[in-house]
């Protein structure tokens, strides 16, 4: 579910490579060009339509389901206008899948992409699966509701349903309205024109950035080894955004201060004001591995692939 998004497209590619027959679901009329020949089938379906989703599941009878679709936005998004759609997709469609498993495929599995944001609004210094949760916005209300639904169906009906609480994970397929694509677009424009300048909200926050392709590969592994497991998944290092941007620009011979104009110096709601660490020890113990790719490597790959840029130094 969500096969045309960043996560869903990487997930589908991994599953196809492993020999799975993949039925992709997306809102668009067709699947992504690179996926169209790989999928066993593609279904144009709005996940807010619970009846259509239920009928599709009964028609294909899948035994392994990945739910990586969500209505969400970048930091500062006003979710009030999106509430009904967000509730239907982020919670309602999860319930439809759980009911399908309960009624028709008790031997099947659901792996759900949850969000690390539920551990906010202020992350603890050491963050793990046992950390306390809190609804800090309407989006996290829906993700907490999905978490509770999964827990209920696991306890009540003994279903095999697991979830990964994902922290920021990036790729060239990420929408341009998120922080990292904005930064990379500014950098690429500045390389082409030394006079290029663009305004940005703030660099005064901490964030945990990882590799989207790698996270989706690990999600497949989790579904196979621990289908009822809950895991936090994040990068080994959390970075101070200003220091990260400064070093990234320096790798291309630039001073970010000549190209980025900050509108304010205070983090907006949901941004982290202090350092924190995502403890992936449980995942490493169960899977024998954890995320390895650093965000600088991911950024350089994006800049090379989409902008033709090679760093002056590493």
Q: Please check the confidence at residue 213 and state whether its pLDDT lies above 70.
A: yes
Examine the pLDDT at 59 and tell me if it is beyond 90: yes
CATH number at residue 253: 3.90.25.10
Mean pLDDT of the chain: 95
In terms of domains, do 107 and 194 share one?
no
Q: What is the DSSP string of the chain?
A: --TTSHHHHHHHHHHHHTT---EEEESSSS--TTTTTT-SEEEE--TT-HHHHHHHHHHH--SEEEE------STT---GGGHHHHHIIIIIHHHHHHHHHHHH-TT-EEEEEEEGGGG-SS--SEE-TTS-----SHHHHHHHHHHHHHHHHHHHH--EEEEEEE--EE-TTS-TTSHHHHHHHHHHHHHH-TT--EEES----EE--EEHHHHHHHHHHHHHH-TT-EEEE--S--EEHHHHHHHHHHTTT--GGGTEEES-SS--TT-B-S--EE--HHHHHHHS------HHHHHHHHHHHHH----S--
Domain encompassing residue 181: 175-207+237-275+293-307
* Average pLDDT for 154-172: 97
pLDDT tens digits, residue range 186-211? 999 999 999 999 999 999 999 999 99
Q: What is the mean pLDDT of residues 16-22?
A: 95
Reported pTM = 0.95
The pLDDT of residue 259 is 98
Is residue 1 situated within a structural domain?
Answer: no
With respect to residue 67, please indicate whether it lies within any of the assigned structural domains: yes
288 belongs to a structural domain: no
* Judgement on whether residues 142 and 197 belong to the same structural domain of the protein: no
Say how many domains are in the chain.
Answer: 2
Is residue 314 predicted with pLDDT exceeding 70? Answer: no
The residue that leads in pLDDT, 93 or 273, is 93
Better pLDDT: 96 or 36: 96
**pLDDT tier at 151, thresholds 50, 70, 90:** very high
pLDDT for 36: 83
pLDDT digits (tens, 9 = 90+) for 218-276: 999 999 999 999 999 999 999 999 999 999 999 999 999 999 999 887 766 668 999 99
Same domain (yes/no): 214, 255: no
pLDDT of 78 reads 85
114 and 246 in a single domain? The answer is no
Residue 144 and residue 199 share a domain: no
The mean pLDDT value for 52-61 works out to: 97
Residue 162 and residue 251 in one domain: no
In this structure, what CATH number is given to the domain that contains residue 226?
Answer: 3.40.50.720
Judge if 253 and 104 occupy the same domain. Answer: no
Residues 51, 179 share a domain: no
Residue 269: what pLDDT? 66
> Are residues 92 and 155 both part of a single domain?
yes
Same domain, 105 and 125: yes
Q: Is residue 112 part of a domain?
A: yes
Q: What's residue 62's pLDDT?
A: 97
Distance, CA of 94 to CA of 68 (rounded, Å):
10
Same domain, 57 and 193: no
113, part of any domain: yes
pLDDT value of position 246: 98
Same domain? 71 vs 217:
yes
Average pLDDT over residues 149-171: 97
């Amino acid at each position: 579910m969500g096969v045309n998004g960043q996560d869903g497209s990487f997930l589908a590619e991994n599953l196809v490579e492993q020999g799975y027959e993949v039925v992709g679901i997306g809102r668009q009329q067709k699947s992504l060009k690179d996926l169209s020949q790989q999928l066993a089938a593609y279904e144009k379906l709005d996940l807010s339509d619970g009846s259509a989703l239920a009928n599709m599941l009964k028609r294909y009878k899948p035994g392994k389901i990945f739910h990586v679709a969500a209505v969400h936005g970048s930091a500062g998004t006003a979710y009030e206008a999106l509430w009904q759609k967000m509730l239907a997709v982020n919670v309602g469609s999860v319930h439809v899948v759980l009911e399908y498993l309960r009624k028709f495929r008790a031997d099947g599995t659901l792996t759900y992409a949850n969000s690390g944001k539920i551990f906010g609004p202020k992350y603890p210094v050491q963050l793990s699966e046992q950390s306390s949760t809190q609804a800090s916005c309407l989006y996290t209300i829906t993700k907490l509701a999905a978490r509770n639904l999964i827990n209920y169906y696991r306890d009540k009906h003994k279903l095999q349903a697991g979830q990964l609480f994902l922290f920021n994970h990036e790729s060239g397929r990420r929408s341009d309205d998120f922080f990292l694509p904005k930064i990379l677009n500014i950098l690429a424009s500045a390389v082409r024109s030394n006079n290029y300048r663009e305004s940005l909200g703030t660099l005064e926050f901490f964030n945990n950035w990882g590799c989207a392709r790698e996270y989706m590969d690990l999600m497949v592994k989790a579904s196979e080894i621990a289908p009822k497991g809950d895991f936090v998944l994040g990068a080994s290092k959390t970075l101070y955004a200003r220091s990260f941007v400064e070093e990234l620009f320096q790798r291309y011979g630039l001073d970010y201060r000549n190209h980025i104009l900050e509108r304010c110096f205070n983090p907006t709601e949901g941004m982290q004001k202090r350092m924190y660490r995502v403890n992936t020890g449980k995942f490493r113990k169960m899977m024998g591995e954890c995320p390895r790719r650093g965000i600088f490597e991911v950024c350089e790959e994006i800049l090379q692939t989409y902008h033709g840029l090679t760093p002056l130094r590493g």
